[in-house]
Amino acid sequence: MDGFKRRDEMKILFCCEFYAPSVGGVQEVMRQLAERLVVRGHSVTVATTAIPTREFKDLNGVQIQEFSISGNLANGMKGDLEGYRQFVTAGAFDVVMIKAAQQWTFDALWSVLSRIPGGKVFIPCGFSCLYEPAYADYFRELPVILRQFDHLIFYASEYRDILFARQHGLTDFSIIPNGASEVEFGVTPDPSFRLRFGLCDQDLLFLTVGSPARMKGHCEIAEAFSSADFFGCPATLLLNAGASLVGQTSPVVPSIGVKSWEYWRILRETSEKDGFMSAMIYVEHGILNKMGIRVGRYARINGERQNTVNDDLMAVIDKIHNQRSGKRVVLTDLPRADLVQAYVNADLFVFASYVEYSPLVLFESAAGGTPFLSVPVGNAEEIAKWTGGGVICPASQDERGYTKVDTRVFAERWSRLANNRTYMRQLGEVGKQNWAARFTWEKIASQYESVFRKVANYARA
């Protein structure tokens, strides 16, 4: 019946800056939770930014309400702010959950929080700008705002956002970790995956994931890979850097299949005969044209040659390939199903991001049964302890909280791990077991549902 609501059904609103089909950590967490709550019989709506590529208003039972708004309080907001405030305050939601500070879906509601009738839940999501001078006033005002929420959810037990809350006497909160999908990672390893990249079973395959390239530490990863010692074992670094970099760089394999295997076979053969740069010229102007793979470091705009890539990263990649040491870097943007296979098939996941909160990629590495080597960014150290599936490389932080690693130190840790495959396998097995026991999205959704019931009942009382 239209308008009928079961007694145990909750009407839930999620507010987040971006949502599917946009891709990112926030989007993934909110989608995984929203869709599982729908399956459990709840009504879930997501309020988010309108984007041209979204051609649907319902995704797997989740209703999507778009608003043409951008910005935040520190830098200014523009768009249909009043329309958004009216939607949230008049929607008769049992629970409103907002994810992340420093963005409009949270900041635009500061003035109307008292008018939201249901329970209010907030996920601070790390306070990435806490040490930025431009946000000093924002964080001075924030404690008063946080006290108007019924419950806070943190991903880490020791990080700048939860320390901020404790400092200001806030006690109504839970620590609920991130996770990885038991549906996605329930797949069996595809034995053809390595073959499609021209890899033998004994070759080393390393993976790193994230964009933009600079903030995700891809230059540091490439530098460490260049100097790491794998005792002559052929090694491939799969650098999944996102569409913004792929297609504008060299060398690039934009999708997996026979094409990428053929690319590297010819590159190897030609490099041995004529040298690496001659091989690149041959490959780029010959077989890649036949394959339809776009490779090249430059694009043309109005007939002019434009540099469109991260030159530092490409310089390191060129250096690696010129070493002729059995190492290669494959820069790509894999479809999700293939990326999951990359996690499952890799020997080691490597991560040197400058700033994170609770990186999903580490949980996904554990879910894939692949050990990880990470800098201590966000709560990576805690994730390594929780899952038992990773090793942390020491790194320093600057005055604004950005993590920077010495690539020589990272290379040494990388070499040590890669040359002890028994230990890597053990780490991967333990990580997968602990992920399955505690960090699947289904288990995590149950924790959110319990919080929502608590705050909804409190709001009704």
Domain encompassing residue 38: 11-179+440-456
Predicted local confidence at residue 420, as pLDDT: 97
CATH number of the CATH domain containing 396: 3.40.50.2000
Average pLDDT over residues 207-230: 92
**How many domains in the chain?**
2
Structure-token match 């009504």, residue found: 43
Q: Is residue 4 included in any domain, yes or no?
A: no
Task: Grade residue 263 by pLDDT with cuts at 50, 70 and 90.
Answer: very low
Q: Do residues 431 and 445 both lie within one domain?
A: no
Q: Rounding to the nearest 10 degrees, give the CA dihedral for residues 451, 455, 460, 461.
A: 110
Instruction: Name the average pLDDT for the chain.
Output: 86
Q: Is residue 271 included in any domain, yes or no?
A: yes
Predicted local confidence at residue 57, as pLDDT: 97
What backbone phi and psi angles, to 5 degrees, belong to 116?
A: -80, 115
Q: Do residues 208 and 89 both lie within one domain?
A: no
Concatenating the DSSP letter of every residue in 93-136 gives -SEEEEE-SSSHHHHTTGGGGGG--SEEEEE-TT-TTTT-GGGH
Structure-token match 């708004």, residue found: 69
251 preceded by a cis bond (ω within 30 of 0) = yes
Predicted local confidence at residue 75, as pLDDT: 95
Predicted local confidence at residue 244, as pLDDT: 54
Q: Is residue 324 included in any domain, yes or no?
A: yes
Residue 423 CB coordination number (10 Å): 13
Q: Is residue 6 included in any domain, yes or no?
A: no
Res 441 pLDDT > 90: yes
pTM for this predicted structure:
0.84
Give pLDDT tens digits for 87-109.
Answer: 999 999 999 999 999 999 999 99
Task: Grade residue 262 by pLDDT with cuts at 50, 70 and 90.
Answer: very low
